[in-house]
Structure 1
Amino acid sequence: MSDVQVLIIGGGAMGVSLAYHLGKAGWSDVVLTEKNDLTHGSTWHAAGLCTHFAHNATIQEFRATSVRLYRDILPEETGQGCGFHPSGAMRVTRNPDRMDEFRHVAGLSDFTGYPLEILTPKRIAELYPLASLEGLLGGIYEPDDGHVDPTLATQAMATGAKARGVSFFRQNPVTSITREDGIWRVETPKETFRARHLVNAAGTWGWEIGHMMGLNIPSVPVLHQYLVTDTVPAVADRIAQGLPELPMIRDPEESWYLRQERDGLILGPYEKEAQVWSVDGVPPDFGAELMPPDLDRVEHIIEAAMARVPALETGGVKSVINGPITFTPDANPLIGPAHGIENGWLLTGSSMGVMEGGGAGWFLAHWMTHGAPPMDALAVDSRRFGSWADRDYRVAKAIECFGLQFGVHYPFEERPAGRGLRLSPLHDRMLARGAIMGAAHGWERPNWFSDKPGDVAHESFQRTNWFDPVAREVECVTNRVALADLSVFSKFEVTGPGTADFLETLGANRPPARGRVGLIHALTPAGGVVSEFSVARLADDAAYLNSAAAAEEMDHDLLTAHAAKHDVRLRNVTEEIGVIGLMGPQSRSVLASLSDADLGTGFPWLSVREITVAGVTLRAMRVSYVGELGWELHARAADLPGLFDALEEAGKPHGIGFYGAYAAGSMRLEKGYRGWGGDLTSERTPDEAGLGYLIRTDGRDFPGRDALLQRMDKPDRWEMVLLSLDSGTLDPFYAHTVRHEGQPVGIVTSGAYGHRTGLTLALAYLRTRGLREGLTVDILGQRFDATVLDRPPFDPDNTRLRS
């Protein structure tokens, strides 16, 4: 029996990268066990494409880190080449929306330091003379992209890991996993391991290893095939002339990629109807096998590729690779702590394991070493899916993601597969009143309300068909009263004699007094915001915490770990309690008609009371994310429909209406309110986010306190500002570069049009504090003047909230 610090299960690019980076970070007693041999599963048959194109800065850093590792670091450290070809890459399109997407990604990349070039058809011809320009509007060029030999890259990482003491066991499948006294016991044919940390990096086998760990891993193997041609004369001629390697080219509308392979080409089509494989367990003897070719499935895509690059037709098919790759419900990998299991980790589910593996291993090694990720993890955190992500969901979403591998990623996009899993008690009522639904952590929630039967959201980077309905919702909230279904909140109850200490040591702010409501930001060890809790102090020994829907599993883990240090009981009551928002200047009148409670001086802003409304006993919290007089009414889920009906009827004389998430997003920006997951992330402190008034450190100790204080003393810390943009009808959303006198200095984290103020607004981080003049914001390739607002433009003194 071997006692080890870390046991990594899986010897693909992801797992070996983690072994390498843990070794670099100084970990000892690190072991990797592999069922077959390194790279077996999906790594060995990958096409090896490496790109910097990404819609998310963290994903982009994964990919950029992988390129640096394969191209520069590993060959220098190990003396082993990775077969990296710095060919560059481009994407071309005939779709105007796609050009907006390209401009958006290029704008983000200006800030992250990986600049991409927007292409005209003329420039496409210069970079890729074998391409037909017919119908093309333009494209985007990724100059630092390339492709790598997956086997060489993985073996080089293994060499680097071994040099740092990591042990590898090949041909050694895991047969069972149990836990004894907080230690993982893992049985294999060659050894029984007792490991403090266990990492599921099993890729194709990730679901099965997860099942052994007691986890639900929402990943599915999907078959992907690509073909390798014989000699293509036009490519051979270029080689004979000493011309550089052709850049990789992708046509997302036709759903294919193409790269040079010696004097031939590799074509990878992604069909719209994915073929899932071995959903409930991979065959025991599967290792480095492939499926038979099935080119009939992709014949139409091959024909489209030949039309775009006619030279492709001149090379015969030399071989066809048809093997499994894994897809998660959103096509991003599962990385980070496993929900509910101490020292269990995931590094699996990547459909682009070679492209992202080098960076993903670095990312998780940092997380395991320092107790927090090096960058915002929300896009990849393994806990972004809950137990609701069942078999049908993961299969439906894998098929959807594969088919939309080259789909346009719109801001606020809502994809249709796997919906309707978590329904509020008010779901049918919301639909009956015209709600257009979105998905939030499996929940259905109203995004906006339409008065047109059968209406659907039109997706675009420009203003879309929900702009005017949202304006009407905002007007109703501002001048009358409106209802909202807010049941998607994550909800937790803390009770017991240790409640006061639990709250006092939770985060950066002091807990509220009894009967009051306050915000507490829990921090990473480095002082960044990991969670935001709205805390209602019900009694000396009882509190009620709310947080974002998407944070449910993450916050449950955080609160569980914190509760273990205190004499309290923690309950996740997310499913048990529903929430109705009643907002607007007439909200008090509506509520007073249904309750005998004191709703005036006895119920001030930021307070919580247990009251009875229409015969329903509930928790009423006088808080408002939209900047108006209003209440959140938290009641048992079973009581919510009757409560809603009573409120709606009582509100009819006051012109009651409804509002959704998009209207709330517009109104909260007019108040300068920060949102968790976009404006508030683990990378930035509450101080940098402009929430210094919610930091109370005197005489208190909490996780991240010392790091927070150190960062608050640094003059180079970032600063969040509220901007007003002169952008006409082009509204910001997120990930737009902010410039000062032409140079990138910041990034927009959220934005919208403010219907009450007539201002286009955005929250943004600036790398340099104090910048106030000469600021602009890039939106879809256009540059607009920006003004820093020192105070929120709507009700800056909170007169309406306090009324």
Structure 2
Amino acid sequence: MKKAQVLIIGGGVMGVSLMYHLVKEGWKDVLLVEKNDLTHGSTWHAAGLCTHFAHNPTIQELRATSVRLYRDTLPKETGLSCGFHASGAMRITRNPDRMDEFRHVAGLSEFTGYPLEVLTPERIAELHPLTQLDGLLGGIYEPDDGHVDPSLATNAMADVARRGGAEIWRQCPVTEIRKDGDEWVVDTAKGVVHAQHIVNAAGTWGWEIGHMMGLNIPSVPVLHQYLVTDTVQAVADRQAAGLDELPMIRDPEESWYVRQERDGLILGPYEKDAQVWSVDGVPPEFGADLMPPDLDRVEPIIMAAMERIPALETGGVKSVINGPITFTPDANPLIGPAHGLENAWLLTGSSMGVMEGGGAGWFLAHWMTHGAPPMDPLAVDSRRFGSWADRDYRVEKAIECFGLQFGVHYPNEERPAGRGKRLSPLHDLMIERGAIMGAAYGWERPNWFSDSSDEIADETFRRANWFPKVAAEVEAATTRVAMADLSVFSKFEISGPDTAKFLGTMGANTAPATGRIGLNQVLTPAGGVLSEFAIARLGEDHGYLTSAAAAEEIDLDVLTAHATAFDVTVDRVTDQIAVIGLMGPKAPEVWASLTDIAPQDFPWLTVKSVDINGIKVRAMRVSYIGEAGWELHVPAADAAKLFTLLENTAKPLGLGYYGAYAANSMRLEKGYRGWGSDLTTERSPIESGLGGFVKPKERDFVGREALETRANDWDMVLMELEGGDVDPFYAHGLWQGGRCVGIVTSGAYGHRTGKVLALAYLRDATARDGLHVSVLGQKRPAQILSQPPFDPNNTRLRAKGALS
């Protein structure tokens, strides 16, 4: 029997990186077991590309950390090269939308400190003279990119980790995983391991190891081919002339990448119709193996690449690599706590394992050591998919992600695969009323409403076809009455004799009194915002909590962990309860027609159980859009009946409907923060402008000490931008002169106020004047608002009757 503080399953670049970084963090008794040998599976045959290009700061930091590790740190520690080639890289395009995307990523990178250069065709020719420029509009250059030898890098990390006391068991497949008290017990080919922590870093085998852990791992192996040429004379001539290595080049429209390999080239195509492999389990004998070449599948892409880089055609094919890489439903890795399991972690599912592996190990090691991730984890959190992400879903989404590996990432992107997994009881009614649906954590929810049944949303960085439709939705909610399906909320019931103590210690705010509603941020040990709940106090021993749809598994873990110290029961009731939004100045008139509780007897931020025509309703006087109204929480079976009753009552008053896009516009006019965009683990509630909800006096809660001792020197502000043809959305740099002083976290056009609005964090809280936001390369002057531009005194929210 072997005792270990942590057992890492999987010896690819991800698992070895975690082992390396845990040793650096001071962990003892670190054991890694590998079914075959290090790098087997997908690491060994990877092309080794490393980039800084990313649409998300956390993903970018994983990639940048990997580059620093392979290029600088490991060679210094070992005295040996990892085979890192600092070639730089570029992406080229003939698509105007892609140029917008490049400008957006370049703007984000100015904030993160990894500046990327937007290219003209002339600059492309200067950097990569083998490229034909026909039809190109431009591109983007990533000067610090390169490529690495995956095996050298992985073994370098393994050597350093072993010197620090870690152990590696090769040729050691795992056969069973079970929990025994506080320990994980793992049967392996070399004996039984008892570990405090267990990590699934199995990559290609991640789904199978997850199955042993009792988890649904939504990853699928997909076959990816690339070909290596013989000598390409144009490349050999450059080498003979002593010229620098050619930068890697990607053409996202034609779906290929090319990089130099000695005096030849590597070409990697991504076909649209991906080939999944071993979805339900990898063959036991599979290790450092490849599939036979199948170039017929990618011949059109190869031909397109040769047209763009004619020198490719002169080299001839030296070898073809065709092996599996794993894809999750959004092509981001699964990193973090395993849902519902104590001391179990995931570090798997990366389609860019070498590119992200060095940073991914750092990220999870920090999380495991300090109880919180070093950056906002939402893009990679292993709990961002639920049990609804079934086999069909993961296969459909893997094929889609592979085919759209180089797809344009629009700010309101909606992809078609894997839809319809979670349907609200009001779904069909919404469709009948013209809802154009979007996906949120598996749910179908209305984004906006159209009077044409076959209309679809424009994919654009600029104002889309839904802009005037959203304006009409806002007008209805502002002047009359509007209804919405809000059923996607995550919902939880807390009951038991310790409910008051549970609610009073779960987060930064105190518990609301019975009959009242309060907002509470649950913190990380470092004082960042982990979760945000609206708490309705139904009784001394009964609380009802709602939170963001995408937070469902995260929040269930938060509540379950907190409940271990109290005599309470936590029940997830998301699917059992539907939610109808009834909002607008005439909403009180609708309410008065259907209940015997006068609106003036139902003040803002209160909750009451009412009977509406025989339907039991939990009515909450609260509004995320800043209008008078109610959230009506009703048993799912009664939702359609209640909706129809409300609708018939409201129609004579000028009823409208609103979706998520209108809600986003209106909440920004109130300065309301959104979890997952404006509220993240990186920033405290004080930095987020929610200091009024922080009440630490004579209370103990996770993160309190850190909250009181951390600098809290960032500051969230609501800004108005000067007009333009592009509305802000997220991840735009905020500038004061030539200095990037902050970043936009969310933005939209405010239809009630006629203002272009954005919420942003200032990392220099003194930078209040002379500001501008860079939106797709446009410098937009911005002014910090001292109060929300719509109803700053909450007169409309507190309305006791219908407003004229």
TM range (shorter): over 0.9
Task: Report what 2:277 is aligned to.
Answer: 277
Q: How does 1:70-219 map to 2 (within 5 A)?
A: 70-219=70-219
Q: CA deviation at 1:592?
A: 1.5
CA distance in 2, matches of 1:169, 1:93: 46
SS in 1 for 2:174: coil
Task: Report what 2:802 is aligned to.
Answer: none
CA distance in 2, matches of 1:614, 1:165: 69
Task: Report what 1:42 is aligned to.
Answer: 42
Q: Would you say 1:756 and 2:755 are equivalent positions?
A: no
Contact 2:41 2:324 in 1 (8 A): yes
CA distance in 1, matches of 2:787, 2:772: 19
1:718 aligned residue (714, 720, 733): 714
1:279-307 deviations in Å (ceiling 9; x for gaps)? 00000000001000000000000000000
SS in 1 for 2:570: strand
AA matched with 1:767: R
AA matched with 1:223: L
Q: CA deviation at 1:24?
A: 0.1
SS in 2 for 1:420: coil
- Paired residues in the alignment total 799
AA matched with 1:97: D
Q: CA deviation at 1:595?
A: 1.3
Q: How does 1:470-489 map to 2 (within 5 A)?
A: 470-489=470-489
Q: CA deviation at 1:141?
A: 0.1
CA distance in 2, matches of 1:362, 1:533: 30
SS in 1 for 2:591: helix
Contact 1:495 1:569 in 2 (8 A): yes
Contact 2:750 2:757 in 1 (8 A): yes
1:468-498 deviations in Å (ceiling 9; x for gaps)? 0000000000000000000000000001110
Task: Report what 1:375 is aligned to.
Answer: 375
AA matched with 2:479: N
Contact 2:741 2:767 in 1 (8 A): no
1:21-68 deviations in Å (ceiling 9; x for gaps)? 000000000000000000000000000000000000000000000000
AA matched with 1:137: L
AA matched with 2:760: A
CA distance in 2, matches of 1:614, 1:138: 63
Task: Report what 1:2 is aligned to.
Answer: 2
CA distance in 1, matches of 2:652, 2:305: 62
Q: CA deviation at 1:662?
A: 0.3
Q: CA deviation at 1:191?
A: 1.6
CA distance in 1, matches of 2:785, 2:380: 33
Contact 2:15 2:347 in 1 (8 A): yes
Q: Which runs of 4+ in 1 moved over 6 A?
A: none
Q: How does 1:702-741 map to 2 (within 5 A)?
A: 702-711=701-710, 714=711, 717-741=713-737
AA matched with 2:678: D
Q: Would you say 1:427 and 2:427 are equivalent positions?
A: yes
Q: How does 1:178-577 map to 2 (within 5 A)?
A: 178-577=178-577
TM-score (norm 2): 0.99
CA distance in 1, matches of 2:376, 2:724: 31
Contact 1:597 1:612 in 2 (8 A): no
CA distance in 1, matches of 2:72, 2:643: 61
Task: Report what 1:686 is aligned to.
Answer: 685
1:442-490 deviations in Å (ceiling 9; x for gaps)? 0000000001221111110000011000000000000000000000000
AA matched with 2:385: F
AA matched with 1:195: A
SS in 2 for 1:650: helix
CA distance in 1, matches of 2:672, 2:555: 21
1:515-546 deviations in Å (ceiling 9; x for gaps)? 00010000000000000000000001100000
Q: CA deviation at 1:183?
A: 1.1
AA matched with 1:94: R
Contact 1:203 1:350 in 2 (8 A): yes
AA matched with 2:605: L
Contact 2:333 2:350 in 1 (8 A): yes
CA distance in 2, matches of 1:343, 1:436: 41
Contact 1:606 1:622 in 2 (8 A): yes
Task: Report what 1:615 is aligned to.
Answer: 614
Task: Report what 1:744 is aligned to.
Answer: 740
Q: CA deviation at 1:438?
A: 0.4
SS in 1 for 2:618: strand
CA distance in 2, matches of 1:419, 1:546: 24
CA distance in 2, matches of 1:771, 1:647: 48
SS in 2 for 1:208: helix
Contact 1:591 1:613 in 2 (8 A): no
1:150-200 deviations in Å (ceiling 9; x for gaps)? 000000000111111110000000011111113111111112100110000
AA matched with 1:358: G
Q: CA deviation at 1:617?
A: 1.1
CA distance in 2, matches of 1:315, 1:612: 77
Task: Report what 1:627 is aligned to.
Answer: 626
1:85-110 deviations in Å (ceiling 9; x for gaps)? 00000000000000000000000000
Unaligned runs of 5+ in 2: 800-804
Contact 2:419 2:439 in 1 (8 A): yes
SS in 2 for 1:102: helix
1:413-462 deviations in Å (ceiling 9; x for gaps)? 01000000100000000000000000010000000000122111111000
CA distance in 2, matches of 1:134, 1:228: 25
Contact 1:504 1:510 in 2 (8 A): yes
SS in 1 for 2:299: helix
Contact 1:596 1:612 in 2 (8 A): no
SS in 1 for 2:477: helix
CA distance in 2, matches of 1:293, 1:727: 54
Task: Report what 1:652 is aligned to.
Answer: 651
1:356-409 deviations in Å (ceiling 9; x for gaps)? 000000000000000010000000000000000000000000000000000000
Contact 1:493 1:570 in 2 (8 A): yes
Q: CA deviation at 1:647?
A: 0.4
AA matched with 1:645: T
Task: Report what 1:639 is aligned to.
Answer: 638
Task: Report what 2:794 is aligned to.
Answer: 798
Task: Report what 1:62 is aligned to.
Answer: 62
Contact 1:775 1:787 in 2 (8 A): yes
CA distance in 1, matches of 2:145, 2:723: 33
CA distance in 2, matches of 1:795, 1:248: 53
CA distance in 2, matches of 1:771, 1:212: 53
Q: CA deviation at 1:597?
A: 2.0
TM-score (norm 1): 0.99
CA distance in 1, matches of 2:121, 2:737: 30
SS in 1 for 2:671: coil
Unaligned runs of 5+ in 1: none
Task: After superposing the two structures, state which structure 1 stretch, 452-461 or 210-219, moved more.
Answer: 452-461
